[in-house]
């Protein structure tokens, strides 16, 4: 069954329409689902060159890149488009790595590239077989299937399993196009997917920072969207720039983390990562990988790769990675990073602080003067609970409580919430909004329980969410605590009173208070409320250890150290030492919208 090629298209999925299975077909689909972690039964019945709707916005469809003139019925004149000759755009080599991919999905990927790419722009397709053992992927079956394409196709086959990263490097070394375009082996390109990518790379413009880009997009929704990171499955990059930038990190194994590494490197070393709204490529997302990693586990491989990312690019903020993944600490002394550190020095790359302040501005990482820790009751840490947020199926973000983590961690905002912690935890996959509640705190480093109290008065959780409060009309104007996307509104600011140990909501003048939870189940407690501030109200008791937040004296500020500690230095001193500064290169790595 593994080596069977049951490709037999019968017209399913034309126009991109969904396929509805009968009970019997569902049973047959389930029998082979585990082979590739998607429905082979359905894929094998969809044509390789099936029709697809044009999913682009009208403004994207109106953009012209090809060598053509269109007659305007109103002006009775021919319209001169941006590129009269499509050859003015750079050519691209499309690189597709696969390991035991399904025959139908691999060929549908390549066929869509051929059918929906202007011929002068498509230099070649390079297929890299990462040691597949399926017979239909070997010579001559696959070679015969692609030999009549109207574009050169190279098939490279590794002699052992090397993984996505090194296989892509093999393809890049063979490429001759001006631009490298990497695609996963289970994609489907739509009309007009390629031209926006190549047009943007040719223009090579340097735009303003993200805030200005957002304003520009209000006028032109086809404008590029700067992105702090990319998923990595589908992107284009100028070939010579890819080489100059250091390609992929050769020290990384198989796959995992390479997308973050190259994203940090591009931004910090003078380039840009952008999403092109007019470029659409379909992609099969799987809940689990069907492939084993020879001689290792996916977790260990990812740990090793992420240590390289943290040590080379994250500067002092790498302590957060080691907090989240403590099992990786022992790898720090055994990885050889000398080559990548020298690359960073040679390219004159900026610091991770610059990246956080200018690129990833809605991050959940503490800056100097900020406090980073839990909100929980400090007296009985054996049964403490933390405030967090969770996704609610209704789409509303609310607060939860879970058991606090790491009893020995001193860097905590301690809140007397009847041994409960304020938590912010995601719910079921597919939900977009959150639920804020109280629940028993957990053990370990659970980032959903960690909050940042900024020096300007924000209480921030992950995913750029801020603890806020609003007046509810149907409750006679009472104030309700909420978790909303940070927007800088006056309802988001809180003041901590060190003497009274209270968090006071700046807009309402009320204090954060724990409800009476004696009648509630501990794993699903109600969120905190706002009540009048009172000296003797134990439900408002919040303890922030003085050694773990910014001192009141203006000349002293709290700073994080590499070994997870917090120290005080002069506020005028540099918070995080970095010798990496340098020039800006006007280059981009571009991705399609899925």
pLDDT in tens, 349-394: 999 999 999 999 888 888 887 887 777 644 444 445 555 544 333 3
State what percent of residues in the chain have pLDDT above 70.
70
- In this structure, what token pair is assigned to residue 26? 């569902």
Instruction: Give the span between the Cα atoms of 167 and 175, in whole angstroms.
Output: 13
Write down the CATH number for the domain with range 371-547.
Answer: 2.80.10.50
Q: CA torsion sign, 474 to 476 to 480 to 484? A: positive
Q: With 70 as the cut, is the pLDDT of residue 469 above it?
A: yes
Instruction: Name the residue ranges covered by the structural domains of the chain.
Output: 371-547
| Alpha helices per DSSP H over 258-374 | 258-268, 298-313, 318-324, 338-347, 352-358
pTM across the whole model: 0.78
Give mean pLDDT, residues 281-286: 92
* Per-residue CA distances from 579 to 294, 315, 347, 576 (Å): 39, 11, 12, 10
Average pLDDT, the chain: 78
Q: Return the pLDDT at 386.
A: 55
232 Cβ contact partners less than 8 Å away, ≥ 6 residues apart: 182, 258, 259, 262, 263
Q: Return the pLDDT at 588.
A: 52
Give mean pLDDT, residues 236-247: 96
**CB-CB contact of 90 with 178 (8 Å):** yes
**CB-CB contact of 254 with 293 (8 Å):** yes
pLDDT tens by residue, 71-119: 443 444 444 444 446 678 999 999 999 999 999 999 999 999 999 999 9
Q: With 80 as the cut, is the pLDDT of residue 121 above it?
A: yes
Q: With 50 as the cut, is the pLDDT of residue 512 above it?
A: yes
Greater model confidence, 228 or 591:
228
Instruction: Give the span between the Cα atoms of 325 and 303, in whole angstroms.
Output: 8
Q: Return the pLDDT at 127.
A: 99
CB neighbour burial string for 524-561, b if at least 16 within 10 angstroms, e if fewer: ebbbbbbbebeeebebbbbbbeeebbbeeeeeebbbbe
Please, is 498 exposed, middle or buried when counting C-beta atoms within 10 Å of its C-beta (0-12, 13-18, 19+)?
Answer: exposed
443 Cβ contact partners less than 8 Å away, ≥ 6 residues apart: 403, 404, 405, 406, 407
pLDDT tens by residue, 153-175: 999 999 999 999 999 999 999 99
The DSSP secondary-structure symbol of 441 reads B
Please, is 369 exposed, middle or buried when counting C-beta atoms within 10 Å of its C-beta (0-12, 13-18, 19+)?
Answer: middle
**CB-CB contact of 566 with 411 (8 Å):** yes
**Helix, strand, coil % over all residues of the chain, rounded to 5:** 30, 25, 50
Q: With 90 as the cut, is the pLDDT of residue 433 above it?
A: no
Q: CA torsion sign, 143 to 145 to 149 to 155? A: negative
Q: Reduce the DSSP state of residue 282 to 3 states and report it.
A: strand
């Amino acid at each position: 069954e593994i080596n069977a090629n049951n490709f037999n298209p019968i017209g399913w999925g034309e126009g991109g329409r969904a396929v509805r299975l009968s009970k019997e077909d569902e049973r047959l689909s389930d029998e082979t689902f585990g082979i590739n972690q998607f429905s082979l039964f359905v894929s094998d019945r969809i044509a390789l060159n099936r029709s697809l709707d044009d999913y682009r916005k009208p403004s994207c469809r109106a953009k012209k890149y090809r060598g053509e003139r269109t007659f305007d019925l109103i002006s009775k004149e021919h319209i001169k488009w941006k590129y009269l000759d499509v050859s003015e755009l750079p050519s691209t080599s499309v690189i597709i790595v696969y390991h035991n991919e399904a025959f139908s999905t691999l060929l549908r990927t390549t066929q869509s590239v051929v059918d929906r790419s202007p011929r002068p722009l498509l230099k070649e397709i390079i297929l890299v077989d990462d040691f597949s053992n399926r017979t239909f992927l070997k010579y001559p079956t696959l070679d015969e299937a692609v030999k009549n394409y109207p574009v050169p196709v190279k098939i490279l086959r590794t002699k052992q399993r090397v993984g996505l990263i090194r296989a892509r490097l093999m393809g890049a070394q063979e490429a001759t196009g001006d631009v490298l375009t990497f695609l996963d082996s289970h994609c489907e390109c739509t009309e007009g997917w390629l031209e926006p990518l190549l047009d943007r790379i040719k223009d090579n413009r340097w735009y303003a920072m993200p805030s200005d880009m957002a304003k520009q997009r209000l006028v032109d929704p086809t404008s590029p969207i700067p992105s702090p990171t990319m998923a990595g499955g589908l992107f284009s990059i100028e070939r010579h720039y890819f080489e100059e930038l250091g390609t992929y990190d050769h020290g990384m194994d198989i796959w995992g983390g390479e997308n973050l590494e190259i994203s940090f490197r591009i931004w910090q070393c003078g380039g840009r990562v952008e999403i092109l709204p007019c470029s659409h490529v379909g992609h099969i997302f799987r809940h689990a990988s069907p492939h084993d990693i020879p001689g290792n586990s996916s977790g260990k491989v990812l740990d090793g790769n992420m240590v390289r990312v943290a040590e080379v690019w994250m500067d002092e903020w790498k302590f957060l990675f080691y907090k989240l993944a403590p099992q990786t600490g022992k790898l720090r002394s055994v990885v050889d990073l000398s080559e990548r550190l020298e690359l960073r020095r040679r390219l004159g790359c900026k610091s991770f602080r610059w990246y956080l302040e200018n690129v990833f501005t809605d991050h959940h990482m503490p800056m100097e003067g900020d406090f980073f820790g839990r909100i929980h009751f400090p007296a009985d840490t054996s049964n403490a609970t933390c405030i967090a947020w969770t996704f609610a199926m209704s789409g509303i973000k609310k607060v939860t409580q879970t058991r606090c983590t790491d009893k020995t961690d001193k860097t905590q905002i301690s809140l007397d919430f009847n041994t409960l912690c304020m938590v912010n935890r995601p719910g079921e996959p597919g939900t977009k909004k959150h639920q804020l509640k109280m629940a028993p705190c957990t053990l370990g480093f659970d980032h959903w329980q960690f909050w940042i109290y900024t020096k300007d008065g924000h209480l921030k959780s992950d995913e750029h969410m801020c603890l806020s409060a609003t007046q509810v009309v149907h409750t006679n104007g009472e104030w309700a605590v909420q978790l909303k996307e940070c927007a800088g509104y006056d309802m988001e600011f809180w003041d901590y009173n060190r003497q009274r140990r209270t968090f006071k909501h700046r807009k309402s003048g009320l204090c954060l208070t724990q409800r009476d939870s004696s009648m509630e189940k501990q794993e699903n407690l109600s969120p905190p409320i706002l009540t009048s501030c009172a000296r003797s109200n134990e439900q408002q008791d919040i303890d922030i250890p003085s050694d773990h937040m910014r001192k009141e004296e203006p000349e002293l500020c709290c700073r994080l150290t590499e070994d997870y500690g917090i120290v005080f230095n002069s506020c005028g001193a540099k918070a995080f030492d970095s010798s990496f500064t340098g020039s800006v290169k006007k280059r981009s790595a571009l991705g399609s919208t899925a």
